[in-house]
Amino acid sequence: MVLDTARMMIGPLDGEPVPCTLETLDEEVVRVRVPLESAPEPTSTCAVWFSEGPDGASVIVPVVVGWSQVDEQDRIVDLFFAEPGVPSALWDESRAVGRDRRTSMRIAPAPDELEVYLDSSHGGVTETVPVRVLDLSAGGMCVDVPADRMPTMPFTDGVFQILLPGQVWPCVMQAFVRHRCRRSADVVRVGLEFDEARTNAYETQAERICQWIARRRQEVAAVVLRD
């Protein structure tokens, strides 16, 4: 299996990735070369992006960072997959899609591939706010919300409408807010976990998300990996 290294990036789970270069890849660990200033801290958790390209979707895989070694202006770092068997799973549609967003593979969609809306309440008035999706898994997602259209605080949970490609009706998911941070004066980034207990027809809707993830994962793998 050969990886197109120009399409590989590394970064925080909910941050901005930077390009890295592949050294080796197997079912449990990927070794990459990273510029010194971009190297993650040992024992921390971050993510590897296997990407179609600048304007395409990415498969995001959580990893645990091992100890690194310095090589001139770079660090060579071993990254251990949170769920072993990632290279095979990229191709295998039968592999279950995990629902723990911190350990399972996620998809960063291509621009305008997904339509997602938040039912936001301001002073008793509810409006539907379009949000930008950074990544989606069966267990949750990360989104950017316009700061001036955030729900009235404290914002601890919400209802999200997720329209998948080729679908007529959106998935309507209740979600807990697991973290949020101010990205700029105009944008708040929010990490969400889907609420199984309060979401109607949760299993059916989660299965629709899983089917899209599995299909999109294979499409990315076909571009990024080859035998």
Phi, psi (5° rounding) for residue 202?
-55, -50
Q: Give burial (CB, 10 Å; 0-12/13-18/19+) of 160.
A: buried
Q: Can you list the domains of the chain with their CATH numbers?
A: 2-108+216-226 (2.40.10), 115-210 (2.40.10.220)
Question: How does pLDDT run across 69-81, given as a tens digit for each residue?
Answer: 888 889 999 999 9
Question: How does pLDDT run across 11-56, given as a tens digit for each residue?
Answer: 887 778 888 988 888 889 999 999 888 888 888 899 999 888 777 8
What pLDDT is attached to residue 76?
Answer: 94
Residues near 125 by beta carbon (within 8 Å), at least 6 away in sequence:
none
For 193, other C-beta atoms within 10 Å of its C-beta total 20
Residue 227, pLDDT above cutoff 60 = no
